[in-house]
Structure 1
């Protein structure tokens, strides 16, 4: 029996490392995927497979599509496709470092590591802006319904957002709260928030059909730069895509106020296979 990768539905870990890989030209993709099965347990290491290895095998995964670059008034969402994405979950940064090293060695030469980002849980689950992240996340059965397809697989949208803290801190507290649509002090939603407030732009029940996703985002920091590694799981990518289109103003011309102090640097979609008999079930790529 196939089950979802357990890490998708589990609470956020204290620490994480995200690895993004490209596919080496003319490589043995089947051998690379076999190596992947040996290093991914779906719980401490969650895997997402991009279009490149699927296409190289001459296969298709229904629902897996390119991440579309989107542009709105003064804002843009870049598309940065990768062949493979791994979410390493843990409690010790040194252990994550060594696990990442061993995974990189195991997947070479088929998969080449392009990016590695460390992330962490902050202030009980807040973004570095100080606002609670994922307040409207579905829970229990609703979370499974939102994130997991009937075969136990999932899709994940991954974006790395960079914050401009000087812009954020230059705002008055009420102005910041209006950008989010919640009070930072107590996380209460503002009844009179403007239409551009983030919570109004992304209210999941306001879409037709409803656009529920399961957010598993964590803050990241590297040197003087920092932001949010936005990670959203869904049984399709459609809900996430609907939210992004509205955020950049393509639905009604109103741009999400979030862009006043943060912007995405990347954007990718991946297919997260289910687990069967303790291993990634890649049968859809080899049938």
Structure 2
């Protein structure tokens, strides 16, 4: 009797680090480009080891996400059941836009030089098979705060809840061990945000600013806080968590301040419902007021297949 090869997930639940690079690429539409990408992805574990060995205490990790178009053109395996391009969400005032992206590399560690070296070696291997469409370097800001001054990621699952919330299981056996990813790059209007009183900022976020205490929910028909709109329940009242690994980024000299949102989930519909609640509003029109100060300039959806699937991509 043959044994099924054990499925090894990518390190989607790697610990929060001091530094991260978010690299989004498109793949050129040639046979040679597809071959180069497949062989590079198959060897991603070896490439990561080659860099991480330089400092085993730096918590280096790289997660690879693949978009729907690239999945069909390059991967040539049955696509995950929920995978599709990022769907624009248009509210009365704000829009979650959709932008190009075939590959995502979420590179993180305690040392930016390791992230830099991994990215350099990765792009050397990919060569002219790809085009960089976005490269964002994030950093930890004080006690895991965003540039708006609030603690970010408080609602993340912990312990045994992480794989339950993040990794696809028996509901899509061919994609088991993988995770859906949504990324958005938000730019903040810090001047306008800082013009608000602390109390108004806290009402928008739904938590206190200094000690991160959760505030009471608003009435059912009233304006809801960000933390309430980002809480997703199914028809039976079960709450579904996602794993956020957001990072602040910016350049004071350029007047650029932002948050790179990245969410991992077992069920893509959870993240899509979250965006609908934020941008359209609940009830409709009462959108997330944080969007008056934070504007998304990118929007992509990917699937991070298991490490086992990635390693097999070199077997043409």
Do they superpose with TM above 0.5? yes
- Residue 163 in structure 1 maps to residue 163 in structure 2: no
SS in 2 for 1:175: helix
User: Which one of 13, 19, 38 corresponds to residue 17 of structure 2?
Assistant: 13
After superposition, residues 128-207 of structure 1 pair within 5 angstroms as 128-150=147-169, 151-191=176-216, 193=218, 195-205=223-233
Q: What is the distance in 1 between the residues matched to 2:41 and 2:124? A: 11
SS in 1 for 2:117: helix
Contact 2:281 2:288 in 1 (8 A): no
The residue number in structure 2 matching 1:261 is 293
How much has 1:31 moved relative to structure 2? 3.1
Deviations 1:166-215 (A, max 9, x none): 11100011111111011101111112656331011112347756332111
Runs of 5+ unmatched residues, structure 2:
1-5, 50-59, 170-175
Contact 2:14 2:61 in 1 (8 A): no
Contact 1:211 1:242 in 2 (8 A): no
Look at both structures and tell me which one has the larger radius of gyration over its CA atoms: 2
- Residue 90 in structure 1 maps to residue 109 in structure 2: yes
The residue number in structure 2 matching 1:210 is 239
Structure 1 residues 206, 225: closer, same or farther in 2, change over 3 A?
farther
After superposition, residues 8-47 of structure 1 pair within 5 angstroms as 8-28=12-32, 29-40=34-45, 41=48, 44-47=61-64
Point out the structure with the larger helix share: 2
Contact 1:52 1:83 in 2 (8 A): yes
The residue number in structure 2 matching 1:273 is 305
TM-score by length of 2: 0.83
Runs of 5+ unmatched residues, structure 1:
none
- Residue 126 in structure 1 maps to residue 151 in structure 2: no
Q: How many residue pairs are counted as aligned between the two chains?
A: 283
- Residue 219 in structure 1 maps to residue 238 in structure 2: no
Contact 2:224 2:282 in 1 (8 A): no
Contact 1:211 1:243 in 2 (8 A): no
Q: What is the distance in 2 between the residues matched to 1:111 and 1:212? A: 33
Contact 1:273 1:282 in 2 (8 A): no
Structure 1 residues 204, 192: closer, same or farther in 2, change over 3 A?
closer
Deviations 1:34-86 (A, max 9, x none): 11222345961111011222121454412211100111121000001311010
After superposition, residues 107-126 of structure 1 pair within 5 angstroms as 107-126=126-145
Contact 2:186 2:295 in 1 (8 A): yes
Contact 2:217 2:225 in 1 (8 A): no
Structure 1 residues 72, 4: closer, same or farther in 2, change over 3 A?
same
The residue number in structure 1 matching 2:57 is none
How much has 1:92 moved relative to structure 2? 2.2
TM-score by length of 1: 0.91
How much has 1:32 moved relative to structure 2? 1.4
- Residue 234 in structure 1 maps to residue 265 in structure 2: yes
Structure 1 residues 155, 267: closer, same or farther in 2, change over 3 A?
same
Considering only aligned residues, what root-mean-square deviation do their CA atoms show, in Å?
2.2
Contact 1:19 1:113 in 2 (8 A): yes
How much has 1:270 moved relative to structure 2? 0.6
SS in 1 for 2:240: coil
SS in 2 for 1:108: helix
